[in-house]
């Protein structure tokens, strides 16, 4: 029995539609795999398929479950396609053996980010906002501090860059 007879006789309209959608999802998944190898300068639309890898993969997994309930052999199409892309799957999700624990002797890099809001008072109760910020930074003692909404060229009593140098010991800003 060839494939056409198989689809005509044993699948209804909904199953045929699902089969067609499954084939389109398989083609889309294969195109998302190829996005790794094709330079976007030569064919830019393929890059969008690469961005859609996760939803396309989940759709194919959904088709596997659907076809396991309906026709088990058809589920193999999506399963084989996913197995073809196994290296991409393991790069997307960390599917590996358990790694050895990291030694505690290794010094880690501590990074802190802070939205300074130009070091303005948020409400009237906070009169010493800069001192609070210096105390928080000193208690965390990060190696790198990233400020958002911070201007280092303000002069006068609003200069905070000098407090970085004097109180916290940070030379670069």
The predicted-structure confidence for 50-90, as pLDDT tens digits, reads as follows 899 999 999 999 999 999 998 889 999 999 999 999 888 88
Instruction: Give the residue with greater pLDDT, 114 vs 57.
Output: 57
pLDDT above 60: residue 7: no
Q: Find out whether 49 and 8 touch, Cβ atoms under 8 Å.
A: no
- pLDDT per position as a tens digit, 144-166: 888 787 766 666 655 666 767 77
Residue count (the chain):
173
Residue predicted with more confidence, 52 or 93: 52
Q: 71-81 pLDDT, tens per residue?
A: 889 999 999 99
Q: Flag whether 42 is in a domain.
A: yes
* CA distance linking residue 135 with residue 129, whole number of Å: 10
Tens of pLDDT along 10-34?
778 888 999 999 999 999 999 999 9
**Number of continuous H segments (helices) and E segments (strands) in the chain:** 8, 2
- Asked if 30 and 84 sit in the same domain, the reply is yes
Could you give the number of structural domains in the chain? Answer: 2
**pLDDT at position 128 over 90:** no
Residue 63 inside a domain? The answer is yes
pLDDT exceeds 90 at position 99: no
**Euclidean distance between CA atoms 23 and 3, whole angstroms:** 14
**Pick from 60, 92, 124: which residue ends a domain?**
92
Owning domain of residue 21: 3-92
| 124 in the same domain as 63 | no
Domain boundary among 92, 126, 141: 92
Write phi, then psi, for 147 (nearest 5 degrees): -105, 140
The pLDDT of residue 95: 62
Query: Do residues 85 and 122 both lie within one domain?
Result: no
Residues 50 and 121 grouped into a single domain? no
* Contact between 73 and 21 (Cβ < 8 Å): no
Residue 96 is predicted with a pLDDT of 62
Domain edge (last residue) among 45, 61, 92: 92
Report pTM. Answer: 0.53
User: Is residue 78 located within the same domain as residue 121?
Assistant: no
Q: Are residues 44 and 117 in the same domain?
A: no
Which contiguous run of DSSP H or E holds residue 68? helix 53-70
pLDDT mean across residues, the chain: 80
Q: Is 48 in the same domain as 14?
A: yes
Within this chain, do residues 75 and 119 fall inside the same structural domain, yes or no?
no
Does 44 map to a domain?
yes
* Domain membership flag for residue 105: no
43 and 122 inside one domain: no
Same domain, 86 and 128: no
Mean pLDDT, residues 115-134 = 66
Per-residue model confidence (pLDDT) at position 56: 95
């Amino acid at each position: 029995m060839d494939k056409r007879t198989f689809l005509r006789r044993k699948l209804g309209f909904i199953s045929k539609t699902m089969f067609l959608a499954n084939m389109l999802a398989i083609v889309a998944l294969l195109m998302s795999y190829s996005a790794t190898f094709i330079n976007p300068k030569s064919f830019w639309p393929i890059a969008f398929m690469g961005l859609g890898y996760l939803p396309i993969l989940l759709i194919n997994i959904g088709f596997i479950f659907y076809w396991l309930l309906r026709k088990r052999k058809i589920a193999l199409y999506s399963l084989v396609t996913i197995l073809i892309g196994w290296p991409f799957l393991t790069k997307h999700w960390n599917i590996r053996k358990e790694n050895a624990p990291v030694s505690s002797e290794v010094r880690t890099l501590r990074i802190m980010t802070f939205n300074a809001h130009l070091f303005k008072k948020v409400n009237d109760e906070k009169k010493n906002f800069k001192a609070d910020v210096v105390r928080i930074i000193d208690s965390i003692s990060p190696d790198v501090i990233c400020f958002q909404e911070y201007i280092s060229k303000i002069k006068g009593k609003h200069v905070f860059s000098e407090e970085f140098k004097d109180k916290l010991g940070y030379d670069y800003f």
